[in-house]
Structure 1
Amino acid sequence: MTIETRKLGMSIVYGIITIFVLLSISSLIISLILRFTDVTENSISIIVTVISFITLFIGGFICGGRGKKKGWLLGSLTGIIYTFIVFLVQYLGYDELFSLQQIIYHICYIATATMGGILGVNLTSGNSREA
């Protein structure tokens, strides 16, 4: 395994860790809001979805920023690995496959992480063009 491959792999790990940390924090906040207020799950379902997309974007961004190149690949792999982990938890823990709606969501999550990876590389690489 080359140093370059290891660097790209570690950037994916950082992206996945970022996603799960941010999701854990937001889940805690949302559960506290649901517990101590009169807000229902149905009334904040859009907010939860938006938070999920932002979290995947940030995870892809961090991954691309750490990898410094191949942002589309790093972001895509980050989204795919996240989807695979969620699928494993759902399949092995709840004995259910993804529904069509979940498949669509996860395809969009992968696309969002990919966009985050591309922007992460381009905004953090520091390469500037001189005319």
Structure 2
Amino acid sequence: MRSGIMGGFNIWIYGKGLMRGYIVSLALFLIGAILITYTGLGENVIPILTSIIMIVSIAYAAIYVVVHTKKKGWLHGGLVGILYIFILILLSKAFVTGYMLDRVVYYRIIISMITGMIGGMIGINMK
């Protein structure tokens, strides 16, 4: 058994997948910021935009991880979704004063897990 591999869980694959997901998030947030700044889009689109970006990034990260693990797509995808949102929550707790876990955060956790599971199912069926 190689280092970092435990029953199909390879920390390096997960790390690469999560980093790719965060890079996609950053790129999409940059595009969104440019669109909001230089077009007629109002600030009222920010909540839906952040949700869409989060869903796309988690799905991409889950697909990447599952394509490389090649088994149990829904399980690995769901784990990627949970890890993605928990890292964001930890960063928010560390850097945002007064950050609190409320109903919206709990919904985002559930959405992240479901999105990861769907991304994992898509990834396992890709060839």
The verdict on a shared fold, with TM-score over 0.5 as the criterion, is: yes
| RMSD between aligned residues | 2.0
> How much has 1:48 moved relative to structure 2?
3.5
| Residues 13-22 or 23-32, more deviating | 13-22
Q: Which amino acid aligns with 1:80?
A: I
Q: Is there any run of 5+ residues in structure 1 with no aligned partner, and where?
A: 125-131
Q: Is there any run of 5+ residues in structure 2 with no aligned partner, and where?
A: none
Residue of 70, 75, 79 corresponding to 2:81: 79
How many residues end up aligned between the 2 structures? 123
TM-score normalized by the length of structure 2? 0.83
Between Structure 1 and Structure 2, which shows a larger proportion of helix residues? 1
Q: Is the 8 A contact 2:29 2:53 kept in 1?
A: no
Which residue of structure 2 lines up, in the alignment, with residue 110 of structure 1? Answer: 113
Structure of greater Rg: 1
Q: How does 1:93-108 map to 2 (within 5 A)?
A: 93-95=95-97, 96-108=99-111
| CA shift digits 1:62-102 (9 cap, x unpaired) | 11001111222221221111111111111121242221112
- For the pair 1:119 / 2:93, whether they are aligned, the reply is no
* Residues in 1 aligned to 2:10 and 2:122: alpha-carbon distance in whole angstroms: 16
Seen in structure 2, the aligned counterparts of structure 1 residues 8 and 122 have a Cα distance that, compared at 3 Å, is farther
TM-score normalized by the length of structure 1? 0.81
> How much has 1:7 moved relative to structure 2?
6.5
- For the pair 1:59 / 2:61, whether they are aligned, the reply is yes
Moved over 4 A (4+): none
> How much has 1:44 moved relative to structure 2?
5.1
Which residue of structure 1 lines up, in the alignment, with residue 17 of structure 2? Answer: 15
